[in-house]
Amino acid sequence: MNNFSIYFKIGFDHIANIGALDHLLFMAALTLRYQFSDWKKLLVLITAFTIGHTITLGFSVLNVIDFSKQWIEFLIPLTIAITAFSNLFDKGKAYKSRFPIIYWVAIFFGLIHGLGFSNDLKMIIGNNGLVIKLLAANLGIETAQIIFVIILLLIQLICTHLLKTNKREYLVFVSGVILGIALYIAALRKPF
């Protein structure tokens, strides 16, 4: 296995495991407002998050920035809670701008999540071929996120079309569950 596939797998596995619950909850909260017909918007949104994630991951691995792991681990569930809470007020209106605020929020929250993964990645990445390793890890992350989002959209489709659950009620219920879990995780991780 070459370096690219090793680091792609590391990035993929970072998302595709139960230990990534906070990341999966964030992806779920971020994508709940969308349907399959919104796939282009959703792809841009997920990529915006990955861009933020990539920026701080790279800067942290290069030791340009360094933040307290305790604070980052506390802030991550807060980003989930904020995203889930904002879903409770979503009225399903179409965004008028090409890049609505949700994309900028996704980038900003991606910056925080990238710092969380950087602590783990710093230990294994080394300095040789750093750009390729970071690119591979981030492509692995993006691939796992897209697969997870497709699964979420399928579940939503089953619930809202086959089981005839009201879309708004589905959004509010699932967002409420995610909000509760995120606040619980934040309380467990509070650094003060």
Q: Is pLDDT at 1 greater than 70 in this prediction?
A: no
Q: Is pLDDT at 52 greater than 70 in this prediction?
A: yes
100-139 pLDDT, tens per residue? 788 899 999 999 998 988 877 777 776 677 888 888 998 9
Beta-carbon count within 10 A of 162 CB:
8
Average pLDDT over residues 134-159: 93
Q: How far is 45 from 172, CA to CA, in rounded Å?
A: 20
Q: How far is 155 from 152, CA to CA, in rounded Å?
A: 5
Give the percent of the chain with pLDDT over 70: 94
The answer to whether 27 and 149 are in contact (CB under 8 A) is: yes
Q: Is pLDDT at 26 greater than 90 in this prediction?
A: yes
Q: Is pLDDT at 94 greater than 80 in this prediction?
A: no
Three-class DSSP labels, the chain: CCHHHHHHHHHHHHHCCHHHHHHHHHHHHHHCCCCHHHHHHHHHHHHHHHHHHHHHHHHHHCCCCCCCHHHHHHHHHHHHHHHHHHHCCCCCCCCCCCCCHHHHHHHHHHHHHHHHHHHHHHHHHCCCCHHHHHHHHHHHHHHHHHHHHHHHHHHHHHHHHHCCCCHHHHHHHHHHHHHHHHHHHHHHHCCC
pTM: 0.89
The answer to whether 23 and 178 are in contact (CB under 8 A) is: no
Query: Quick one: how far is CA 66 from the chain centroid?
Result: 21
27-48 pLDDT, tens per residue? 999 999 999 888 888 999 999 9
Residue 70, pLDDT score = 93
Average pLDDT over residues 166-171: 94
82, two tokens: 């904020």
Q: Is pLDDT at 98 greater than 80 in this prediction?
A: no
Q: How confident is the model at residue 18 (pLDDT cuts 50, 70, 90)?
A: confident
